[in-house]
Copies of this chain bind each other. A is one copy, B any other.
Amino acid sequence: MTVTDRESPMDLDQIAERAARAARPFAATEPRARAAALVAVADALDARAAELIAIAVRETGLTEPRLAGEVRRTSNQLRLFAEAIVDGAYLDARLDEADPDYVIGPRPDVRRVLEPVGPVLNFAASNFPFAFSVAGGDSAAALAAGCPLIVKAHSGHPELSRRTAEIVSHALAEAGMPDGVFQLVEGQEAGVELLKDDRIRAGSFTGSTRVGVLLADVAASRPRPIPFYGELGSVNPVYATAAAVEADPDLLSGFLASVSGSAGQLCTKPGFLFVPEGAELGDLADAAAGVVEHRLLNPGIGRAFEQRREAVLGAEGVTPLAEGAVRVDEADQRFATPTIVEVDLERLRAQRDELLEESFGPLSVIVRYRDLAELPELHRELFPGNLTSTLHATDADAEAVGDLVDALAETSGRVLFGGWPTGVSVTSAMQHGGPFPATTSDSTSVGTAAITRFLRGVAYQNAPQALLPPPLRDDNPWGIPQRRSAAGRSAGWGRLTGTH
């Protein structure tokens, strides 16, 4: 068992050492063996879903249907990564044959493959106790890449983290993965100390901008800095044209559902909805009255939301359309109904420091704009980095929104046309990451492209076959795709010369 025992103090040195020792044997496993191990973990989670969901409901206050969907998403995410690595295409194996006639002078035999970076430390999130936690997307990506993984459990769901870790550890061991490929640690201090450990080679994180920036600084100021992939803050603006507001009778209810689902504690919750001045949205107070109150994840997040909500409601020029409420119970847990406010563009600009900050909970701001043409510049100015941006428009708007679409793509990882940004689909084409502060790099933490964060290129020059790693050998024992540049072919770039 590689899960930290609560009874004995954690020996972080020993944990880092086990991860480091696992690095070589794990890196040597065949992709199809790791794929099978990921599927084994997925199967084990599915088999224990009922037990896990019961713990999660108690620890997080999220609803049973939401959590059941999240377990499904999490196990299928593991299967998706299994599928993404099984054929070995992700290794990007490139074989440049030796070429005495190479244009730049004789070329040696050079072969390059992506290899795992080594032990990864993943800080779990509070708001997705499955999909961004112990067996979540970052974990799946690190294990798929062949990196030993240490998960720093989130304090918001400790029992669930430990139970999940037991299941994951057991499934990986049963599937024949080396000892030490998966470990769990608890406590902020332990996480920070491990992030400083020279044996850790990459960090990943999903959480607040404040904590993420602190951890990114720790990673960058080590004697040997390491890459740190943090998914931090995002306010996910949504823009609706006049025609779209008119054409879509469900706009208001869709917006409210996206703002209040999981009590708005989603990194893709729409924090701003821009609609034209004078556009008729319907009675928001009335619509919001139908939303039942939802517990916030834990007392800390509850208190922070309560304060944030009061600050927004108290800001100058802010009009509540649906005031909502926050109720505290005897266990210091908070239960919220959605708060929707309205502000005009000038006020938003003037009070950007107060109003543009992310509100982690069921709160959103409706902004009235005058002219579609002002939105691209406005967006670039106010929203330089987001996970998502959304445009509600009709076919008739297509020409008028071209500039705005460019602005959204420049500043966001995902641009949606209609619909709402919450409910991120886990697919090979998903991008969940964008310019800072959405992420500390432009990489993605959802979808199979996330695996590239934990890989690095290594080239082998003039290596004898016996000393090459399997994906680069001529006999290709793993049967993976190899991109071969034949000798002779590189003697000149005649077909490109003079193409202009």
Contact = CB atoms under 8 A, between A and B. Distances in A.
Given A426-B104, A458-B412, A39 B69 contact: no
A204 B86 CA distance: 34
B435 A457 contact: no
A83 B461 contact: no
Interface stretch (A3-11, A149-157, A415-423): A415-423
A298 B25 CA distance: 47
A24, A198, A385 pick with most chain B CB within 10 angstroms = A24
A112 B175 contact: no
20 contacts: A40-B500, A43-B497, A69-B104, A82-B493, A96-B427, A102-B425, A110-B429, A112-B429, A115-B409, A117-B442, A198-B384, A226-B436, A227-B442, A413-B458, A414-B458, A414-B460, A414-B461, A415-B463, A417-B462, A431-B458
Residue from A107, A112, A498, A500 whose CB has the most chain B CB atoms within 10 Å: A500
A333 interface: no
Nearest to A456: B442
Contact of A493 (B76, B104, B416, B449): B76
Query: Can you list the 3 inter-chain pairs with the closest CB atoms, starting with the nearest?
Result: A442-B456, A431-B459, A36-B500
Interface string A485-500: 1000010010011111
A73 B461 contact: no
Contacts of A95: 429
Interface of A: 23-24, 32, 35-37, 39-40, 42-43, 69, 72-73, 76-77, 79-80, 82-83, 86, 92, 94-96, 102-105, 107-108, 110-112, 115, 117-118, 174-176, 198, 201, 216-217, 220, 224-227, 384-385, 395, 398, 401-402, 405-406, 409-410, 412-419, 423, 425-431, 433-437, 440-444, 447, 449, 456-464, 466-467, 469, 483, 485, 490, 493, 496-500
Nearest to A217: B220
A39 B449 contact: no
Contacts of A225: 216, 436, 440
A490 B84 CA distance: 13
Given A412-B458, A415-B458, A425 B110 contact: yes
Contact of A112 (B217, B395, B419, B430): B430
Nearest to A483: B428
B459 A415 contact: yes
A409 B23 CA distance: 12
Given A36-B499, A76-B493, A496-B86, A459 B430 contact: yes
Contact of A72 (B104, B175, B176, B462): B104
Contacts of A69: 104-105
B398 A466 contact: yes
B436 A497 contact: no
Contacts of A117: 442
A339 B208 CA distance: 54
B429 A467 contact: no
Contacts of A499: 32, 35-36, 39
Given A415-B458, A417-B464, A442-B227, A428 B94 contact: yes
A173 to B, nearest CB: 12
Contacts of A426: 104
Contacts of A483: 428
Nearest to A222: B436
Given A110-B427, A417-B461, A435-B456, 11 more contacts: A32-B499, A43-B497, A76-B104, A82-B493, A83-B493, A105-B425, A112-B429, A224-B385, A225-B436, A417-B460, A431-B459
